[in-house]
Amino acid sequence: MDIKDYQRVTLQVEALISGETNLIANLANISAVLNMEMANINWVGFYLKEGDQLVLGPFQGNPACVRINWGKGVCGTAAATNTVQRIKDVHQFEGHIACDAASNSEIVIPFSINGEVVGVLDIDSPLHDRFSEIDEQGLVLLMDMVEKMLNEPINSK
């Protein structure tokens, strides 16, 4: 996908989740759209913060690890550091948690509500070095829009 594709997908997602305040419903639709639009991926979904762990949320793909400790693996590292993790070869990532042996690369984007990381978007690929700088920019653009929409109802109360 190029940046225009990500802009189109962001508008599509915005139309789907606009006015809906249920987090699970919104994340389910986002993962479905990304699964339809992105080539060469084998898993896309969300992990949500619960205490000192990330717990499996809405996703598309094979069954996945249910709980990931905060700061562990690619997802836990992204959440704990509030930074995007774009990993060319997950087998070279120290502490990688292998939920699917077919996955070779991964990108994880944390997202926040009221400034606190509450979850991550996680996308896996069977290809090495699948995710580009453009993928990162496009997915960050998407999740920035999602964060704004998630924060609106909370901040307006």
Task: Answer for the pair 34, 58: CB distance below 8 angstroms, yes or no.
Answer: no
Q: Report pLDDT digits (tens) over 25-75.
A: 999 999 999 999 999 999 999 999 999 999 999 999 999 999 999 999 999
CATH topology assigned to domain 3-148? Beta-Lactamase (3.30.450)
Task: Answer for the pair 157, 143: CB distance below 8 angstroms, yes or no.
Answer: no
Share of the chain above pLDDT 90, in %: 81
Q: Report pLDDT digits (tens) over 95-106.
A: 888 888 889 999
Parse the chain into domains and list their residue ranges: 3-148
